[in-house]
Structure 1
Amino acid sequence: MTRPTDISAVPYSGPPLHGVPDDLVVHGVLDIDNCDERLWVPQTKDVWFRPLLFSVSQGYFVNLLRVRKSGILSRHRHTGPVHATVLRGRWHYLEHDWWAEEGGYAFEPPGDIHTLEVPEGVEEMVTLFHVTGAYIYVDPKGNAQAIEDVFSKIELAKEHFEKVGLGADYVNRFIR
C-alpha cells in the first residue's frame, strides 16, 4: 500500500480567478518614526494621512491618520462602518464617553455622527483607519458641509506625490 503524499506545502498552480486584483503589501507601516515623510499626505494644518489601500471597486480606504495638534479635528457622519486601531496617542468623540487610546480598537457604525477631539497633552496621535464609504463633514445640526471618500483621498494623494517628487502615478500602488 502506498502512503499518501503530503501536498499541504504545494502552492496553487491553477489559473488565476477572473478579476482578482494583485495583492498589496506595504512594508514598515508600524515604523512611524522612520518612514519617508513624503508618504504623509497633508490633509489640513497639522493633519496628514499615509495611504495603505484605496479600494475603488469596494468604496473604502485604509490609511494612517497623523495629528500633531490638540483640539477639535472634525465633526462628521459615516456612510459606512469604520474600524480604528490607535498606534500612538489618544482621542475621543465629544458625543461619547469612551476614549480611543494607544493599543486600542474602536468600531464606528454607519450613520454615527461625532466630533473628534485630540486632548491637550497629546503631541502626536496616529491611528490606523479602515473607512468604508464616506465621511460627511457636518455642522452642529448635521447639515452637510463637505464630503471625503476614496476618490477625494486619491486626488489629494496624487497631487501631493507629484509635488514632493514621487510622481502622480505613485498613488497607483495603493489602488485596487
Structure 2
Amino acid sequence: MPLPMAVHTQDRLLSLNIHREPGIDLGHLIPGMKLWPLFLDPDNATWVLYAKYAPGTSLPRHFHTGAVHFFTTRGTWGYHEYPEDAQTAGSYLYEPPGTMHTFHIPEDAAQDVEGFMVVTGVNVVFDDAGNYLSTDHAGSMEQIILECARRQGIAMPRYIRPSGPAAYTV
C-alpha cells in the first residue's frame, strides 16, 4: 500500500521553546501575569499559551463558550468558586464549555504559578457584581499580546499562526 500524499510540505518542525522566547508581560493590564504565546488561530477560535502568574494574581470572573485544558507545571492556584480543589504542579484541569469561574492565587503563595493552556471559543468577562466587562478570544488575545510586546520593545513575538483568514480559491 502506498504512503499517503502529504497535504502540507514542511521544511522544518513548527516548534517553540519558552526558555528561548521572551515572555510578554501583561502587568499594566493584569498585574502579575506574563504570557508566552505559542499558537494563536483567530479563525478557529483557538489559543495556546504558556503563562506565569505572581502570587496575588486574580483574573476577573469569566464564562467559557469553549473548552479549556490547563496543565499546571509550578505552584498552587484555584478558583474562588471551588476552594477545596486547589490545582498544584502536575494537575491537569479540563474546563468544559459553559463553565464560569474566578482564577486566583493567594497573596501568601510560596511561589509563582506556571502552566500550559489550550483555550477554544470566547471568554466572556464580568466584574464582581456580574456586569459584563469584555470578551477575550484568540484574535483579541493576539492584539493584547502584540500591544504588550511593543511596550516591552519586542517588535514581533514568535508564535505559530495559521496562514490567515478564509478566502476564495484563486
TM-score (norm 1): 0.75
In the other structure, the counterpart of 1:40 is 24
Q: Structure 1 residues 100, 15: closer, same or farther in 2, change over 3 A?
A: closer
State the 1:39 CA deviation.
Answer: 3.1
Rounded Cα–Cα distance in structure 2 between residues aligned with 1:159 and 1:71: 21
Contact conserved, 2:68 with 2:94, CA < 8 A, in 1? Answer: yes
TM-score (norm 2): 0.77
Match of 2:102 among 102, 115, 131: 115
Uncovered stretches (5+) of structure 1, i.e. residues with no partner: 1-6
Contact conserved, 2:70 with 2:92, CA < 8 A, in 1? Answer: yes
Query: Given the alignment of the two structures, is residue 24 of structure 1 paired with residue 8 of structure 2, yes or no?
Result: no
Q: Structure 1 residues 89, 67: closer, same or farther in 2, change over 3 A?
A: same
In the other structure, the counterpart of 1:64 is 50
Query: Given the alignment of the two structures, is residue 106 of structure 1 paired with residue 93 of structure 2, yes or no?
Result: yes
Runs of 4+ in 1 over 6 A off after TM superposition: none
State the 1:93 CA deviation.
Answer: 0.8
Query: Given the alignment of the two structures, is residue 175 of structure 1 paired with residue 165 of structure 2, yes or no?
Result: no
State the 1:41 CA deviation.
Answer: 3.9
**Using CA pairs below 8 Å that are at least 6 residues apart, which structure has the higher relative contact order?**
2
What is the root-mean-square deviation of aligned Cα atoms in Å? 2.9
Can you list the C-alpha shifts for 1:62-106, whole angstroms capped at 9, x where unaligned? Answer: 001211132533211111110000011011111123111101100
Q: Which has the larger radius of gyration?
A: 1
Equivalent position SS for 1:73:
coil
Uncovered stretches (5+) of structure 2, i.e. residues with no partner: 163-170
